Structure 1
Amino acid sequence: MGTDTGRRTRARGDGFTEKRHLTENVYILGSEVAAFIKENLLPEFTNDGLATGRPSVWALIFYLMSYRLARPVIRRLVLGCGKRPVSAQLAFLGSRINKIARLQRLLPLRGVHVERGAVDGLSMEIVRPVGGQAALHSGVVLYFHGGGFMMGSLDTHRHVVAAIARLTGLPVMHIEYRQYPDVTVDGSVDDCCRAYQWLLEQGADPARTVLAGDSAGGFLAYATALHAQQRGLPRPAGVVGLSALLELDGTARGAYGSVDDDAFGVSLVLPTIVEHTYPQLGTTKDPSPINGPLNTMPPSLLIAAETEILRCDAERLYGALTRSGRSSVLEIWPKQLHAFPALLPFLPESREAFASVAQFIKSRVDADASALNERDQAV
């Protein structure tokens, strides 16, 4: 785990603005990329980018490009330019991104079979690895896509569930849960709990079922693990959160660090997203996982980027779980972006993170088999 905050990138302040001519911006960016790579890679860099704990070349390039270019773009996309209300802008953005993501259906997925169906009218897919485990009772992963509770779909995250299926040898189910503006966050949680219940009704063994998700999907994975138990369903075997949002109230994040540290710009738009996707915050019971009964939380794996604002959520939940005596693993990755395994799956760090996720999932599924063997031997 690397938690050295001394490696955080500096705040904006060198005159780089959206208003500069494109050529000048590109020149500035190119110069900074060269200096950034020299500072962060030489002479300790190795080809895999991981042996010394240093980020890979491509990770550094995308990190700096995101810090310089993605932040203003994300702010403009989410908050709009004043042409329409923010609520309408969020709905428009979610719809447009999901439509564009349909193009991914044209791309072949290697090494997996995709079965399509529905749960209570909600589209879902079960992605099974070729030659892998087919029976749900032998182990399954339930994955929830990210997207700020307003965007994301089966199409945007099919590559993620396919990667997990290939690496674990297990079937992975994901569902198109309802989002803003159709429902608020609690409605999304309801859909995810129903998906978990449906899996159990199809024969999945809860002791061999792992929940996972990225960003807002990580929120839903942890919330489902807790809320499902409150509804009388058995506890799953484990939970995985990739850059997971874990608390809707942003008070703790506000005191955590500068919003300028977040290279992807999540910190710039998260308060507005929460304001619209859960407007009842403060007036009703908060469904945030970090506020739930953590003494019932199954073992979990938390992965976050070093400078993203949601590192705060990961560290706070990890600390709370540790104090509650619950098993939890926290990985902090330097010079990476928010939800980097899902957004940039081709990076060596993303492949390594997926391998870590797969190892955790298999350990949780195998833990039940080991317990059964011990009981059989005792008899």
Structure 2
Amino acid sequence: MSKQQLDFILRLSAENPPPANATPPQMREWFEAINAQTPIAEGATIETISVGPCPAELIRLPGSDEGKLMIYYHGGGFLFGSPRSHRTIATHLAKASGATVLSVDYRLAPEHPAPTAHDDAYAAYLWALDHGYQPESVVLSGDSAGGNLALAAAVRARDNGVPLPSCLVLMSPALDLASEGESHRTLADAPLVNRELMGLFNAVYVGAGDLRSPKVTPFYGDLSGLPPVLVHVGSWELLRDDSITLADRITATGASAELKVWEGMCHSWQLFAPMLEEGMASIVEAGAFVRRHTA
């Protein structure tokens, strides 16, 4: 493990904490700024398009397979984040998978509370099917809140009788919004996402609504009949048990869920690739999984 690399990155992050008493626009500005300098994959081209109710970035590298589409939903607790802030992950996923990547700029809370982001995520998948992509060539993926959206879009497609994507790639998915997992207590002060920040995310997106509702998380519902799922999570994050429990529940239905707990890694460490060896390694493994499961 590249502990020295991660420790250095976290020390730098601690020197630029979220602004106190910030408005949502100020939080977004802060988050965009701290991710603006992270290198993207060399040779990546980015085209802005519309997918249903929201814009998106269509990312290609030389040699990208135009017939394969990896839909990517960024993290940020439904409050901040964008395709721009997550270009490091999205462009390197395009490189590792050989697919074109569609990074969705879904609408954010509190201006657009639940279930807006979930509706936008599902609309992006329908857009792909309506624009000639075959379901066996489409992947749904995301980190943190985006992992929630990727899984939720697949569950909604199953429930609506829509053809399912080839596979799912989930990185540190935020699923247990009711904080019932043990890691929500034992790792409540973990880096990047702690119990206080999770409370803020829930407040702005779900408000007084039901944290267990399928409109805001698929975690507590029926997880049968899904395509193969790859789940990566760090051992040092509050959301660790979200992933462990999810994989257990999916495999209990007879479906396939590959879980890897990355020792010593914090929440969404892929954002630090290529400055962190494990960040790039996770993306490369995700790309290999996509190559195996797409036609």
Q: Above 0.5 in TM-score? A: yes
Name the structure 1 match of 2:202.
Answer: 274
- 2-side partners of 1:308 and 1:291: how far apart? 20
Seen in structure 2, the aligned counterparts of structure 1 residues 284 and 355 have a Cα distance that, compared at 3 Å, is closer
Name the structure 2 match of 1:148.
Answer: 77
Seen in structure 2, the aligned counterparts of structure 1 residues 102 and 247 have a Cα distance that, compared at 3 Å, is closer
- 1-side partners of 2:24 and 2:291: how far apart? 38
Name the structure 1 match of 2:251.
Answer: 322
* Paired residue secondary structure (2:78): coil
Match status 1:257 vs 2:190:
no
Name the structure 2 match of 1:168.
Answer: 97
Structure 2 regions of 5+ residues with no counterpart?
none
- 1-side partners of 2:212 and 2:282: how far apart? 36
* Paired residue secondary structure (1:349): helix
* Paired residue secondary structure (1:293): coil
Choose the corresponding residue for 1:199, options 92, 116, 128. 128
Opposite residue 229 of structure 2, the aligned amino acid is: S
- 2-side partners of 1:142 and 1:279: how far apart? 27
Name the structure 1 match of 2:240.
Answer: 311
- 2-side partners of 1:294 and 1:59: how far apart? 34
1:250–1:271 contact (8 Å) kept in structure 2: no
Q: Which has the larger radius of gyration?
A: 1
Name the structure 1 match of 2:24.
Answer: 91
* Paired residue secondary structure (2:219): helix
* Paired residue secondary structure (2:186): coil
- 1-side partners of 2:254 and 2:36: how far apart? 45
Name the structure 1 match of 2:112.
Answer: 183
Choose between structure 1 and 2: higher strand proportion.
Answer: 2
- 1-side partners of 2:49 and 2:223: how far apart? 33
- 2-side partners of 1:315 and 1:295: how far apart? 16
Seen in structure 2, the aligned counterparts of structure 1 residues 90 and 238 have a Cα distance that, compared at 3 Å, is farther
Opposite residue 119 of structure 1, the aligned amino acid is: V
- 2-side partners of 1:117 and 1:296: how far apart? 31
2:273–2:280 contact (8 Å) kept in structure 1: no
TM-score (norm 2): 0.89
1:98–1:155 contact (8 Å) kept in structure 2: no
Name the structure 2 match of 1:73.
Answer: 17
Choose the corresponding residue for 1:113, options 41, 45, 57. 45
TM-score (norm 1): 0.71
1:104–1:156 contact (8 Å) kept in structure 2: no
Opposite residue 149 of structure 1, the aligned amino acid is: F
- 2-side partners of 1:158 and 1:126: how far apart? 11
Match status 1:62 vs 2:12:
no
Choose between structure 1 and 2: higher helix proportion.
Answer: 1
Seen in structure 2, the aligned counterparts of structure 1 residues 167 and 343 have a Cα distance that, compared at 3 Å, is same
* Paired residue secondary structure (2:99): coil
Name the structure 1 match of 2:285.
Answer: 356
2:140–2:165 contact (8 Å) kept in structure 1: yes
- 2-side partners of 1:98 and 1:143: how far apart? 18
Seen in structure 2, the aligned counterparts of structure 1 residues 265 and 230 have a Cα distance that, compared at 3 Å, is closer
- 1-side partners of 2:125 and 2:230: how far apart? 19
CA RMSD of aligned residues (A): 2.6
Opposite residue 61 of structure 2, the aligned amino acid is: P
* Paired residue secondary structure (1:274): helix
Q: Deviations over 1:29-77 (max 9, x none)?
A: xxxxxxxxxxxxxxxxxxxxxxxxx4343124335x379x37x935xx4
2:96–2:286 contact (8 Å) kept in structure 1: no
Seen in structure 2, the aligned counterparts of structure 1 residues 228 and 66 have a Cα distance that, compared at 3 Å, is farther
- 2-side partners of 1:99 and 1:341: how far apart? 16
Name the structure 2 match of 1:127.
Answer: 59
1:94–1:152 contact (8 Å) kept in structure 2: no
Seen in structure 2, the aligned counterparts of structure 1 residues 153 and 263 have a Cα distance that, compared at 3 Å, is closer
Between the aligned residues of both structures, percent identity stands at: 25
Shift of 1:280: 3.9
Shift of 1:358: 0.5
